[in-house]
Amino acid sequence: MQSIFYERARDAADAVRLAQQDGARFIGGGTNLLDLMKGDVEHPLQLVDINDAGLGHIEELPGGGLRIGATVRNADAARHGLVRERYPLLSQAILSGASAQLRNMATMGGNLMQRTRCPYFTDTAFSHCNKRAPGSGCDARQGYQRMHAILGASPACVAVNPSDMSVALAALDALVLLRGAQGERTVAIGDFHRLPGDTPQYDTVLQPGELIVAIDLPPSRMARHSHYLKLRDRASYAFALVSVAAALEMDGATVREARIALGGVAHKPWRRRAAELLLQGRQLDDEQCRAAARSLLEGAQPLDGNRFKVELAQRAIVRALRIAGEGV
C-alpha cells in the first residue's frame, strides 16, 4: 500500500513550499485527481490542499478586466454577475460542462489542469499509453478514435484536452498567473497547454510544484456578440466532440475583431489568428464564415475513426459565428 501525506496550505507561498517535494500535487475540488488516483492512473505521494490558501476571490482589474482566483468554484464563476455581464462566453462554456454537482466542487485551477478523457489513458487495462507510461506506445492509434484529435497530434499521442472552460478562456485571451519556487510569472492561455509532440505526459508548461494562483481576463468588447457551441453525443453530461468559442466585436454588420477557439479537436484549445483576420473588416456572411472555418481547420489530419469531425467542426464554426453575430 502507498501512503499519501496530506497538508492544508495557509496561503499561496505555503502551498508552493509544501509542494516542493517529489510526488507532491495540489488538490482543488478533487473531481479529477481523486478519480485518477482511484483508477491507479495518478500516484501522488503528497497532496497539498489549496482550498484555504486565500485564492477563492473574483476581483475587478483596472480598465475593466477581472481576476478569478484559482480556487473559485466553477459554478461560482459561471454565475458571478461581472462574469455574466463582461464574459458571458466563459459562463456558457463552464455551464455546458460536467454536472451541477461537479461544477459546485470543481475549481478554476483544477479545470485548467484536468487531464484527458482518452480511455487508453484513464483505463489501466490498456497497456500502451505514452501519456500515462511514457515510451509504452499509443493504443488509440489502432483503437476507438471518435473522441480523438484531428489537429496538432503526434505519432506519440492523439488525445484531446477535455476542458470547455479553457476553450472560452482561449478566445478571451486570458492570462494564467503562476507562482513557483523561483517566483511569479504570467503565461498567456495560448501558451499554457502544450501539443503532445514526443512528450505527451506533459499537458501544460507548468513546472513541478508551480501553483496556478489566478486567471486574468483582459477587458473585452465582445460580450454582446459571443457564443459557446458544444456538440456532443448526449445532450448533457458529456464531453465535446467539437466545441467552438466564438467572440466578435461588431460595427453594424461588419466584423471589427474576431476570436475563434475550438475544443475537442486537439491537445489544447485550437486557435489560428489567420482564420480570425479573414473576418476582420468583412460582413459576417456564410461565405466569410466558411472561409474562416477552412482556415482554422487547415492541416487537419483526422484518424479513420473520426473523419466526420472535420465537417462537423466546419459547420459548428459557421453556426457559432452566425449566432454570435446576431448578438444578445
Ligand X SMILES: Cc1cc2nc3c(=O)[nH]c(=O)nc-3n(C[C@H](O)[C@H](O)[C@H](O)COP(=O)(O)OP(=O)(O)OC[C@H]3O[C@@H](n4cnc5c(N)ncnc54)[C@H](O)[C@@H]3O)c2cc1C
Q: Which positions touch ligand X (CB under 6 A)?
A: 25-33, 35, 50, 70, 74, 97-98, 102, 105-107, 109-111, 113-114, 162-165, 211-212, 239
* Smallest gap from residue 260 Cβ to ligand X (A): 18
- Decide whether 70 or 78 has the Cβ nearer to ligand X: 70
* Smallest gap from residue 310 Cβ to ligand X (A): 22
Phi/psi of residue 131, nearest 5 degrees: -75, -40
Q: CA 175, CA 260: separation in Å to the nearest integer?
A: 17
* Smallest gap from residue 139 Cβ to ligand X (A): 22
* Smallest gap from residue 328 Cβ to ligand X (A): 23
- Decide whether 51 or 280 has the Cβ nearer to ligand X: 51
- Decide whether 211 or 318 has the Cβ nearer to ligand X: 211
- Decide whether 225 or 271 has the Cβ nearer to ligand X: 271
Among residues 59, 56, 111, 110, which one has the least CA distance to residue 83?
59
* DSSP secondary structure code for residue 48 in this structure: E
Ramachandran region, residue 22 (left: φ > 0; alpha: ψ -120 to 50; beta: rest)? beta
* DSSP secondary structure code for residue 157 in this structure: B
Among residues 223, 222, 189, which one has the least CA distance to residue 206?
189
Q: CA 193, CA 202: separation in Å to the nearest integer?
A: 9
- Decide whether 176 or 292 has the Cβ nearer to ligand X: 176
* Smallest gap from residue 297 Cβ to ligand X (A): 22
The SS3 call for residue 231 is strand
Beta bridge partners of 251: 254
* Smallest gap from residue 285 Cβ to ligand X (A): 32
* Smallest gap from residue 40 Cβ to ligand X (A): 15
- Decide whether 167 or 318 has the Cβ nearer to ligand X: 167
- Decide whether 23 or 143 has the Cβ nearer to ligand X: 23
Span between the terminal Cα atoms of the chain, in Å: 56
Q: CA 296, CA 183: separation in Å to the nearest integer?
A: 36
* Smallest gap from residue 253 Cβ to ligand X (A): 33
User: How much is the CA Rg of the chain, to the nearest whole Å?
Assistant: 19
Which residue number is nearest to ligand X in terms of Cβ? 110
Q: What angle do the packed helices 286-296 and 308-326 form, to 10 degrees?
A: 130
Q: Extract the C-alpha cell encoding 138.
A: 499509443
8 A C-beta contact, residue 275 and residue 295: yes
- Decide whether 35 or 224 has the Cβ nearer to ligand X: 35
